[in-house]
Amino acid sequence: MEYAENILDTIGNTPLVKINHLAKELPCLVLAKYETFNPGNSVKDRMALQMVLDAEADGRLQPGGTIIEGTSGNTGMGLALAAVVKGYKCIFVTTDKQSKEKVDVLKAMGAEVIVCPTDVAPDDPRSYYSVSRRLGDETPNSWYVNQYDNPSNCKAHFQSTGPEIWEQTDGKVTHFIVGVGTGGTISGVGSYLKMKNPNVKVWGVDTYGSVFKKYHETGIFDENEIYPYITEGIGEDILPKNVNFNIIDGFTKVTDKDAAIYTQMLARIEGMFLGNSAGAAMKGVLQLKEHFNEDDVVVVLFHDHGSRYVGKMFNDEWMRKQGFID
C-alpha cells in the first residue's frame, strides 16, 4: 500500500505545467511550477515545515509550545498544518490588506489571528512586524518564526524546490522568474540553479510601492519608493535577510491593475485558478519578453490558490471599485 504518514509528507514534488495561450507571443517554452498542489495550497508549506523542523532540532520550539508569526496568510497556513500534526498552538499576526479568506482559513486551522493596520511604518508598534515580535517576547514557551530573516526559509527551497525544477526540466531551465516577498523562494531556488548552471538567469517580480527593484539597481534604500499597494504576497518596505540580491539578475515591476487582471486571465484562459501574485508573475514574464529566445526554457513559480481571493481579484464588483475593469 502507498500512503503518506501524515499530511506533511505530501509537501513538495509539485508539477510543471506549460503556459499555452498567455505565453503564445513569447518565443520560448514557459513552464509554471504549480505550488498549489501542496497541502496548504501554497509554496510556503515548504519553508514553514523546514523552519519548524530546524527550530525543533535546536530547541527553539519546545513540546506544547506556541508558534508566533507575522504572515500575509500562506506561511501561516503552512505553520498551522505543522502545528496541528505536531501539537503546537499558533498565533498569527496579519494586516488589514489581506483577503478575508486568508484570515478565515487560518482560523479554520485553529489559529488565533490578530489583524494590524497596513499603512504604518515597519517600526511602528502597531505594525504586524512589531506586534508579532512583541508577542514572541511576551508569550511563555513560544517561538517567533521571523520568516523574513530565518535562514531555514532559503534552505527549504535550496533543498527541494530548486532540485525539483532542475530535474523536471532535465537541466534545461534557462530562466527562473518569481514574485519576491520574504526572498526565500528566489534566493533558495536561484542559488541552487546557478550552482548547477551559472548561466541561468534569475528574475524577481516586484510591485509598485516596494523597495526591491531600486535597491537592487542602485544599492539605495529609498523610502520614497514605499507607498500602499493592493497586490498581495510580493514586495516589501523592508530588506529581509533572505533576499540574496547577489544571485538576482534583475527585477521587473508589475502594477496592481495588471496583477489583478492577469490573475483573472490565468483562470479564464489557462484554467489556472491561482492567487494574486501569480497574475503579477505572469505579467512579469511577458514584460521580460526581450530577454528570451526560442531555445530558452522559462520557469515561473506560482505561489498560491485562487480560493483565497474570491472576494477580491475574482469579484468583478471589487475589481470595478478599484478601477481595474469597466
Catalytic annotation, residues: 44
Give the span between the Cα atoms of 106 and 214, in whole angstroms.
Answer: 34
C-alpha cell of residue 156? 527549504
C-alpha cell of residue 265? 486571465
Q: Residue 54: helix, strand or coil by DSSP?
A: helix
Tell me if 95 sits within 8 A of 118, measured CB to CB. Answer: yes
C-alpha cell of residue 311? 472576494
3-state helix, strand, coil in the chain (%, to 5): 40, 15, 40
Query: Is residue 161 exposed (0-12), middle (13-18) or buried (19+ Cβ within 10 Å)?
Result: buried
> Among all chains, which residue has been given the C-alpha cell 534557462?
174
Task: Give the sign of the dihedral formed by CA 53, CA 56, CA 59, CA 60.
Answer: positive
Tell me if 35 sits within 8 A of 189, measured CB to CB. Answer: no
